[in-house]
Amino acid sequence: MPAQTLHDLIESGVSGRAVLIRSDLNVPLDAERVTDDGRIRASLPAITALAEAGARVIVMAHLGRPKGAPEPQYSLAPVAARMRELSSREVALAEDVSGPSAQQLAAGLSDGEILLLENVRFDARETSKDDAARAELAAEMAALAPGGAYVGDAFGAVHRKHASVFDVAALLPAVQGPLVATELTVLNRLSETPERPYVVALGGSKVSDKLAVIDNLMDRADTLLIGGGMVFTFLKAQGYNVGSSLLEEDQIPVVTAYLERAKQGGCQIVLPTDIVMAASFAADADHSVLPVDRLESGTHGVDALGLDIGPESARAFAEIIASASTVFWNGPMGVFEMEAFASGTRTVAEALTQVSGLSVVGGGDSAAAVRALGFADDQFGHISTGGGASLEYLEGKQLPGVQALQD
Q: Is 89 annotated as a binding residue?
A: no
How many angstroms separate the CA atoms of 350 and 69, rounded? 42
Q: Is 25 annotated as a binding residue?
A: yes
290, β-bridge pairs? 275
Question: What 3-state class would DSSP assign to 362?
Answer: coil
| Residue 364 is a catalytic residue | yes
Q: Is 121 annotated as ligand-binding?
A: yes
Selected catalytic residue, list 228, 243, 331, 364: 364
Q: Is 64 marked as binding a ligand?
A: yes
Q: Of 22, 39, 134, 161, which one is the catalytic site residue?
A: 39
Amino acid at 268: Q
In terms of C-beta density within 10 A (0-12 exposed, 13-18 middle, 19 or more buried), how is residue 91 classed?
Answer: buried
Is 39 catalytic? The answer is yes
89, 301, 388, 397: the catalytic one is 388
* 105 half-sphere exposure, CB direction, 13 A CA radius: 22
Would the annotation count 112 as a binding residue? no
**Is 206 annotated as catalytic?**
yes
Residue of 41, 89, 189, 206 with catalytic role: 206
- What letter would DSSP give residue 308? E
Is 337 annotated in some ligand binding site? yes
Does the annotation flag 63 for ligand binding? Answer: yes
Peptide bond into 178 cis (omega under 30): no
3-state secondary structure of 94: coil
Query: Residue 197, preceding bond cis, omega within 30 degrees?
Result: yes
* 363 assigned ligand-binding residue: yes
**Range 339-349 burial, b when 16+ CB lie within 10 A, else e:** ebbbbbbbbbb
Residue 24 assigned ligand-binding role: yes
Q: What residue numbers does the annotated binding site cover?
A: 24-26, 39, 62-65, 121, 160, 210, 306, 337, 363-366
Q: What residue numbers does the annotated binding site for substrate cover?
A: 24-26, 39, 62-65, 121, 160
What residues act catalytically?
39, 206, 364, 388
Q: What residue numbers does the annotated binding site for ATP cover?
A: 210, 306, 337, 363-366
